[in-house]
Structure 1
């Protein structure tokens, strides 16, 4: 591909956008939450335990309910997952991660719509992804997309 002035300008703008995202409060909150999670020894131990149980659970899943430890391991994995999910630093990290994802999805949507209204952009939510339409429905616009 030949590099034209337009292509170089486009790459420069993309680089500037990336820098703006990295300097945003949303990204900085994400980095801080990630560092807090990594430094939380209790959370890391709970995650380690959950990952060990996940390996056991996958082994039990091969045989399903016929495995002799199926009920016990299934109960233990749910309890372990709940412990991880209720850990304060995990909750904060997941919230920051979701906010960063929303920011990136919004930016992707703005870029796509500036090119064309019919470009499909994944939102990260399958419910809403399936609701959008790019003119391919057979209702003749009756779904509101047309």
Structure 2
């Protein structure tokens, strides 16, 4: 494919949009929340431990109730997840992640609709949407979240 002036303008505009997103309050809030979580060495260790437990959980899931450590692993993963979920820093990071995802979804829908309302745009949940709900949930659209 040949790079034309039009393509270069589109790429430049995409980079400008990316810079605008990175300067947005939503992304700054996310970056601050991320830094609070991962600069806390105790919390970072708990996240690493939880990720190791997730690997054990996935192994147990292959065999289900027949795995010798099924009950222990199932209980421990729930306890670790709950402990992490109750941390204020983790909750703030999750909310900030959702806000960034919503912003990116809305931008994607706006760009898709500028081409055609029939264009399907990947949404934050991995599904495709044709934005028939009239905008994202946070934009006051009529979707049924």
TM-score by length of 2: 0.80
* Residue correspondence of structure 1 range 104-115 to structure 2 within 5 A: 104-115=104-115
The size of the alignment, in residue pairs, is 133
Q: Give the unaligned 5+ runs of structure 2.
A: 133-145
2:122 is paired with a residue whose SS is coil
* Residue correspondence of structure 1 range 60-99 to structure 2 within 5 A: 60-99=60-99
| CA RMSD, Structure 1 to Structure 2 (Å) | 2.3
TM-score by length of 1: 0.80
User: How far is 1:62 from its partner?
Assistant: 3.1
* Structure 1: distance between partners of 2:94 and 2:116: 32
Structure 1 or 2, whichever has the larger Rg, is: 1
Q: Is the 8 A contact 1:46 1:83 kept in 2?
A: no
* Structure 2: distance between partners of 1:40 and 1:47: 11
User: How far is 1:33 from its partner?
Assistant: 0.9
